[in-house]
Amino acid sequence: MDKQKNVSGLLGDTKHRDYAPKLSLFNRFAAPELRKAIASLQLEPGAHVLDAGCGTGEALQWLRDAVGDEGTVTGLDLSSAHVAAARAQAPADALVIQADLDRLPLPARCFDLVWSVNTINHLRDPDAGLATLAALLRPGGRLALGQSSLLPDMYFAWDSRLERLTNEAVRQYYRDRYALDERDLTAVRALVGRLRRAGLKDVRARTFIIERVSPVGTDDENYLLEAIFRATWGERLRPYLSDADHAELARLCDPLDPGYALRRSDFHFLQTFTLVVGVA
């Protein structure tokens, strides 16, 4: 890949980037809501489906279940690590392709549905990416874009001040790390307009609430602890919080601390997952 290809994604995504552990954790955590989102599409048996940005491939089986034995499911991702993970667990008859959205080895008008979750916001030119995906749809086919909120709506119902400061710190980290501005952090609310600009019709949106209360299950704790508490809220937030606030956040994220957030009886977590669908 040339230099431009190595920086093709808004968040620096390349074929060498590896989000596989985090993606797997999220898919197991949000599986009930993601499967409800797929069910809401009421896919016809025999439909041909593309998962664009399939990540580690958990959705390939869910989509395969929806279209039945007569249907086909194809997964596509840029990352080598993601493609390897997806191929390892995809249905035996699913095709998993490594490719960039601007060089797709797929013919036009060959899919009844293009499903793409948490992918478009990684592109430097999301509108161009959507145009590419829309061109893959048969007449009457649908493009379904899913996006989880960048920040959860609530973590610390008992301490709204620390919750606000933590969310602001995460936003500032993203702006500094990836040279983003606030408009880049509104991916969910931008999806309706993007699909309409891509020429899709009958654009509709539905938001699913990912809600967890204590006691949380194993998959829930694994995701929240590893992907949020340790990764998103780890040392990277230290420059954006006072010493006292960072120390308090660290205690809440520490499974060995008596005040560990996920074991509090008043822990209540909310996060949104929005699915926006348009028709070719």
* Strand 111-117 versus strand 137-148 pairing type: parallel
Q: What is the pTM of this model?
A: 0.90
Task: State residue 13's pLDDT score.
Answer: 63
Please, which contacts does 243-246 make with residues 24 or more away whose CB atoms are closer than 8 Å? 245/162, 245/165
* E strand or H helix at 189: helix 187-197
Task: State residue 1's pLDDT score.
Answer: 31
Task: State residue 189's pLDDT score.
Answer: 73
Smallest CA-to-CA distance from 191 within 93, 74, 274 is with 274
d(CA 240, CA 268) in angstroms, rounded, equals 25
Residue-range domains of the chain with CATH: 3-279 (3.40.50.150)
CB 136 within 8 A of CB 145: no
Q: Each residue of 68-116: pLDDT tens digit?
A: 999 999 999 999 999 999 999 999 999 999 998 878 899 999 999 999 9
Which amino acid is residue 17, in one-letter code?
A: R
Using only the alpha carbons of the chain, give its radius of gyration: 19
From residue 83, how far is each of 20, 78, 90 by CA, in Å?
A: 9, 8, 10
Residue 187 pLDDT level (bands cut at 50, 70, 90): low
Q: Each residue of 4-58: pLDDT tens digit?
A: 333 344 445 677 778 899 999 999 999 999 999 999 999 999 999 999 999 999 9
